[in-house]
Amino acid sequence: MVSQPVPRDLIGVTGARPLPATMRAVVLTGHGGYERLELRHDVPVPHCGPDDVLIRVAAAGVNNTDINTRIGWYSKAVAAPTESGAATGLAGAKDDGWSGTPFHVPRIQGADACGYIVAVGQNIDAKRVGERVLVEPVFRTDAGFDVQYFGSEVDGAFAEYARVPARFAHAITSALSDVDLASFPCAYSAAENMLTRISLGQGDRVLVTGASGGVGSAAVQLAKRRGAEVIAMVGGEKASTVKALGADHVIDRDADIDRIFGASSLDAAVDCVGGPRFGSILNCLKPGGRYGIAGAISGPMVDLDLRTLYLKDLQLFGCTVLTPEIFPNLIHAIEQSEIKPCIAATYDLADIVEAQTTFLSKRHVGKIVLTL
């Protein structure tokens, strides 16, 4: 396995040259449309706390959560799918963040970072300077569900530099590019978290919704890695690309799954789409079947027939906070080339609006990544 050298512009900061005082960053200034994303060149470079590292961000993935927060989609007053308010913000949204608490601006968003450590806090080994790292985006305390999300409650990756608690900056050795690596953290950890929560194993027959997306395309690969039989739901012309990722079967996202599978034919499902298909997915699960959910891009409000839930002894798992083993497992899978990146496009940070517009069109498969 080849590790990439520290980029030339980092040589100074790991040795002779001091860090700059200011940096380029995209700053979110409030709920609303794209005008709320401001590219600035005078944002102060963060200082490390005693247990932090400072990373020079090389590449940062685009995620729905950045857009959800900006447009107010996490507000309980909103029931619409994300794309309905992407350009203007959602009418009636309150200032809620994903955790239900008010969201604070100005904020640097960005949950996915691949970067290089350029400074460390006083409690961190100085030998870590120069390390290539991926940031685990869910900063949990030892209390478990008490978390801060990178790029949401604390500043994130849409900036040249980011401060990260050292234990969430994971060293990685890989021949993959910075862009490739930046596609993994948020989507792949969310997918692996769902598969872990539903205890997916060898021979299980699992349905993956939104399989052309970041989380879905990750779930297809990670479910195959566990030896499951994978049925991927995709839209448009994306079937062949998702099949190439390892899906055993690909069906259209509008297919009548009640008719195709019949009641009680699937061991498990991982869903990040939600919306109108939810009831049918539960119908298709076997008694004792497991359902993991990590997103609701097609709509957060669903019909639940409680008889289906209790008469089949179904197990429903909400999945966001990562347990401690998830990210190290992911790093291992990347380093062993057991999973691969799926990059649809790259943009410079300055072109974030164009990147988010393309991302929201959902004509791509995989991830869109910003370079810095």
Ligand X SMILES: NC(=O)c1ccc[n+]([C@@H]2O[C@H](COP(=O)([O-])OP(=O)(O)OC[C@H]3O[C@@H](n4cnc5c(N)ncnc54)[C@H](OP(=O)(O)O)[C@@H]3O)[C@@H](O)[C@H]2O)c1
Output the six-digit token pair for 90: 């959602």
The verdict on 70 binding ligand X (CB under 6 A) reads: no
The least distance separating ligand X from the CB of residue 116, rounded to whole angstroms, comes to: 24
Residues 253-272 that bind ligand X (CB under 6 A): 253, 272
Q: Does 81 bind ligand X (CB under 6 A)?
A: yes
Of positions 46, 156, 216, 289, contacts ligand X by CB under 6 A: 216
Which of 85, 89, 165, 210 is the binder for ligand X (CB under 6 A)? Answer: 210
Min dist CB 176 to ligand X, Å, is 19
By the 8 A CB rule, do 261 and 284 touch? yes
* CB-CB contact of 51 with 119 (8 Å): no
Q: Is 64 in the site for ligand X (CB under 6 A)?
A: yes
Quick one: residue 106, left, alpha or beta (phi over 0 = left, psi -120 to 50 = alpha)? beta
Position of minimal CB gap to ligand X: 213
Q: Does 109 bind ligand X (CB under 6 A)?
A: no
Q: Kindly calculate the radius of gyration of the chain based on its CA atoms and give it in whole angstroms.
A: 20
- What is the closest distance, in whole angstroms, from the C-beta atom of residue 243 to ligand X in the complex? 12
* Closer to ligand X by Cβ: residue 134 or 190: 190
Task: By CB under 6 A, tell whether 215 contacts ligand X.
Answer: yes
Which parts of 184-203 interact with ligand X (CB under 6 A)?
A: 186-187, 190
Q: Alpha-carbon distance 204 to 200, whole Å?
A: 7
Rounded to an integer, what is the distance from CA 18 to the centroid of its chain? Answer: 33
Q: Which residues contact 203 (CB under 8 A, 6 or more apart)?
A: 227, 228, 229
Strands 285-293 and 266-271: parallel
State yes or no: residue 226 binds ligand X (CB under 6 A): no
* Nearer to ligand X among residue 124 and residue 242 (C-beta): 242
User: Least distance from C-beta 89 to ligand X, angstroms?
Assistant: 16
Tokens coding 353: 């609006």
> What gap in Å lies between CA 190 and CA 215, rounded to an integer?
7
Q: Say how many residues touch ligand X, by CB under 6 A.
A: 29
The rounded distance, in Å, linking the Cα atoms of 303 and 171 is 43
The residue (of 14 and 148) whose beta carbon lies closer to ligand X is: 148
Q: Does 207 bind ligand X (CB under 6 A)?
A: no
In this structure, what DSSP letter does residue 158 have? S
Among 298, 329, 346, 356, binds ligand X (CB under 6 A): 298
Closest approach, Cβ 230 to ligand X, in A, equals 14
Map the footprint of ligand X across residues 14-53, applying CB under 6 A: none
Q: What phi, psi does 346 have (nearest 5°)?
A: -125, 150
Q: Does 235 contact ligand X by CB under 6 A?
A: yes
Burial-class residue 259 by CB neighbours within 10 Å (0-12, 13-18, 19+): exposed
> What is the spatial distance between Cα 369 and Cα 361, in angstroms, rounded to a whole number?
15
Residues near ligand X, by CB under 6 A: 63-65, 68, 81, 83, 186-187, 190, 210, 212-216, 234-236, 238, 253, 272-273, 294-298, 320, 362
